[in-house]
Amino acid sequence: MELNSPVKCLYGVGDKLEKTLHSAGLFTVNDMLYYLPRAYQNRGDVKELDDESCYGQYHSYILTVANEPSVAMIKRGMNLLKFRAFDDTGKVNITYFNQNYLKDVFHTGSTFRFWGKLNKEKRTLSLTSPAYEPILPTKILDPLIPVYPLFHGMNQKLMAKLQGEIISNISTLIKDFLPEDIRLKNQLPTLQFALKNIHAPISEEALEASIKRLTFDELFLFALSISKMKVTQQDSYAPAFSYTDAEPLLSLLPYKPTNAQAKAIRELSEDLCDKNSTGKRKAMNRIVVGDVGSGKTLIAAIGAYFACKSGYQCALMAPTEILAHQHYESMKPLFDKLGISCELLTGSTPRKEKNQTLLRLKSGETQFVIGTHALIQGGVEFKELALAITDEQHRFGARQRSSLGDKGLFSHTLVMSATPIPRTLSFMIYGDLDISLIDEMPPGRQRVDTFVVDEGYRTRLNGFIEKQIKNGNQVYIVCPSVEEKKEDADNFTDYDPFASLFDEGMPPLKATVEYAEHLKNEVFPDYNIAFLHGKMKPKEKDEIMMEFAKGSIQVLVSTTVIEVGVNVPNATLMIVENAERFGLSQLHQLRGRVGRGRDKSYCVLVSDSKSEKSVERLNIMKTIYDGYSIAERDLQMRGPGDFFSSSDSVRQSGQLDLGIAKNCTDTRLVHSAFESARELLASNPALLGDELDYLRQRVEETCVSKSNTIN
């Protein structure tokens, strides 16, 4: 058996099981090894039958069978096997449905470790279909039993058996790729130890150390592979700009740029301009990151101005029609005054008009074009595009973004993102992009007062909605887009080292469409209520957003697709249903949709979650209003996973599907994995040397799997 041996080499894997494993993406022994449990049952912590604090929860009991099982038919096709068992403190009735064969397993006097939920009714204790393991003098039972995520055709026992075979070969399978000094410095166990103990932990301590090691590996390899890509992407060139004086544009604005904006403008002109120009310079690859409302659009406008004044063209791509319109309407008057021709091009531009715009872009007559993804469709040609800007870039796929750049063979790129990223993660997320951070809000911003309420406030909340509408304002209601997942039967974990996000006592989910219907029919029949969700066609979504922006819709019920970046100053109330389901950063983004006009605005987070952790998390929103502090808290409380999955920016450099590191709330570990990568690269950028052969190979593999996901 080797790491890349096919799963078929495992005992008992025939054609059928092979297919099952393939369906879950498990092709090799290595795939299996990294198919990790999602939780563990702490069966080593054995309880006694008289311990009332355990009733109703899953626990272990060591029990001796008191009588031979009896089998009774309860109805057609269903029988019940029943016996009694005891420990020193009491007796319990044990039952199994339709498992006649257990007659041959349980015999009077034999002892088992049972795992199940003890119920007490009147004075009788019962266990229904508990898991069981015989107590034998020859075998010590494992204290922690892994619970794997299952898929069609797979069960826990089978998975554990397959993993068991691999684990028994672990000493010949695994070579450690982590340099010894890094491993020791970070107090990590060997890879062999970690992989063995993640599947078959000998103790809680061993399991924790193993999780730490595998988490470290994931982040460390990711950091290394990102910098590798950075090295390979360096050499592209774009025209040097001759003109970088922002003053004429700035003087047209009713406000002064904030210090942070001014700094971003300076960084931009340093990137773009070459005083001793030979015509070309290194292409700019910059991201402007700033909280919602921090004024990123100004930076885009200035970039466009520099490009056009230098004799080149600029394109600004927005993720939605409405955003493109909004940009066009705010920028067109400015550029008119500056003598720069500016046009709009979107999917709904009439063909005739569109054709003329296309001609003017090709001839260079139009200098600045604002649009949607229509800009990157066939037929769009530029005379000399030198700056490609994408707004709210996390909403575009990497492919769309790069093809805007491709429209000008050699163009600078500028992207804007409103997703605050914790400092520790910024290098990993932005990878090869230079960052301009707008960490300051324009003066005079009103604070969006935030409340956390439960269902008990529903009536008052509806009254509050009505009040906003009567004032002539508008309301957003966001519902979670996720369907409630059916938890599988194994989900009875009392020891969950992965800090499960979804704590117990999760209230049922509000679904967008039904809720909108309910509001429309039963609560606010006199108002115009619309809904919006991801499964609608882009055109339908745009139409609804336009209607909302115009004010003809009073309440918009939506999933989180509600357009990031959209500016509807008349909206004064944001309600988030099932708020416990959202990351804090996401809530902050949503809150940023209101408070954009003169009227006092509010954000109400509705949650019926009884979990203390959820409540504590949500309460943070009442006191913290800065996106970066919120992002840091999110990282501490939910781990880095949210940042990688919610922001497409990662896909700029490839996609990282964080596995075990996803919910790692040990910020120090995240940080040190990343620092270790940085230090190693500083001393040995190409990872040369025989002792790094295996590490180099792993980084290589990480890069390959990532570039696959880009396309």
Judged by beta carbon, residue 296 or residue 309, the one nearer ligand ADP is 296
Q: What is the number of other CB atoms lying within 10 angstroms of the CB of residue 424?
A: 22
Residues making contact with Mg ion (CB under 5 A) = 565
For the CB of residue 422, give the shortest distance to ligand ADP in the complex, in Å: 19
For the CB of residue 289, give the shortest distance to Mg ion in the complex, in Å: 12
Please tell me the distance from the alpha carbon of residue 553 to that of residue 602, in angstroms, as a whole number: 18
Q: Which does 292 bind (CB under 5 to 8 A by kind): Mg ion, ligand ADP, none?
A: ligand ADP
Judged by beta carbon, residue 440 or residue 608, the one nearer Mg ion is 440
Question: Across the strands, what pairs with 39?
Answer: 147
Judged by beta carbon, residue 127 or residue 437, the one nearer ligand ADP is 437
Judged by beta carbon, residue 176 or residue 321, the one nearer Mg ion is 321
For the CB of residue 293, give the shortest distance to Mg ion in the complex, in Å: 8
For the CB of residue 326, give the shortest distance to Mg ion in the complex, in Å: 9
Q: Which does 37 bind (CB under 5 to 8 A by kind): Mg ion, ligand ADP, none?
A: none
Judged by beta carbon, residue 290 or residue 639, the one nearer ligand ADP is 290
CB nearest Mg ion: which residue?
565
Q: Which does 493 bind (CB under 5 to 8 A by kind): ligand ADP, Mg ion, none?
A: none
From 400, 401, 366, select the one nearest 382 (Cα to Cα): 366
Q: Which does 295 bind (CB under 5 to 8 A by kind): Mg ion, ligand ADP, none?
A: ligand ADP
For the CB of residue 318, give the shortest distance to ligand ADP in the complex, in Å: 10
Q: Which does 298 bind (CB under 5 to 8 A by kind): ligand ADP, Mg ion, none?
A: ligand ADP
From 475, 91, 528, select the one nearest 83 (Cα to Cα): 91
Burial class (CB in 10 A: 0-12, 13-18, 19+), 351: exposed
CB nearest ligand ADP: which residue?
295
For the CB of residue 301, give the shortest distance to ligand ADP in the complex, in Å: 9
| Token pair for 688 | 């040369």
Q: How far is CA 478 from CA 431, 523, 642, in A?
A: 32, 17, 18
Q: Which does 255 bind (CB under 5 to 8 A by kind): Mg ion, ligand ADP, none?
A: ligand ADP
Please tell me the distance from the alpha carbon of residue 210 to that of residue 216, in angstroms, as a whole number: 10
For the CB of residue 711, give the shortest distance to ligand ADP in the complex, in Å: 29
User: Which residues make Cβ contacts (< 8 Å) with residue 497, sequence separation at least 6?
Assistant: 39, 40, 207, 208, 211
For the CB of residue 565, give the shortest distance to ligand ADP in the complex, in Å: 6
| Token pair for 442 | 């324009």
Mapped onto helix, strand or coil, the DSSP state of residue 120 is strand
DSSP H helices in 474-553: 512-518, 538-550
Please tell me the distance from the alpha carbon of residue 615 to that of residue 608, in angstroms, as a whole number: 9
Question: What are the two backbone dihedrals, phi and then psi, of residue 21, each rounded to the nearest 5 degrees?
Answer: -65, -40
| Token pair for 573 | 């109330």
Q: Which does 578 bind (CB under 5 to 8 A by kind): Mg ion, ligand ADP, none?
A: none
Q: Which does 442 bind (CB under 5 to 8 A by kind): ligand ADP, Mg ion, none?
A: ligand ADP
Q: Which does 558 bind (CB under 5 to 8 A by kind): ligand ADP, Mg ion, none?
A: none
For the CB of residue 432, give the shortest distance to ligand ADP in the complex, in Å: 23
User: Which residues make Cβ contacts (< 8 Å) with residue 423, sequence separation at least 6?
Assistant: 628, 632
Q: Which does 431 bind (CB under 5 to 8 A by kind): ligand ADP, Mg ion, none?
A: none
SS3 of 620-670: the string is: HHHHCCCHHHHHHHHHHHHCCHHHHHHCCHHHHCCCCCCCCCCCCCCHHHH
Task: Please tell me the number of Cα atoms within 13 Å of 651 on its side-chain side.
Answer: 18
Judged by beta carbon, residue 185 or residue 337, the one nearer ligand ADP is 337
Judged by beta carbon, residue 291 or residue 343, the one nearer ligand ADP is 291
Judged by beta carbon, residue 69 or residue 290, the one nearer Mg ion is 290
Judged by beta carbon, residue 565 or residue 639, the one nearer Mg ion is 565
Q: How far is CA 424 from CA 224, 237, 387, 588, in A?
A: 15, 30, 30, 19
For the CB of residue 43, give the shortest distance to ligand ADP in the complex, in Å: 52
Please tell me the distance from the alpha carbon of residue 75 to that of residue 131, in angstroms, as a whole number: 24
Residues making contact with ligand ADP (CB under 6 A) = 255, 257-258, 261, 290, 292-298, 418, 442, 565
Judged by beta carbon, residue 143 or residue 565, the one nearer Mg ion is 565
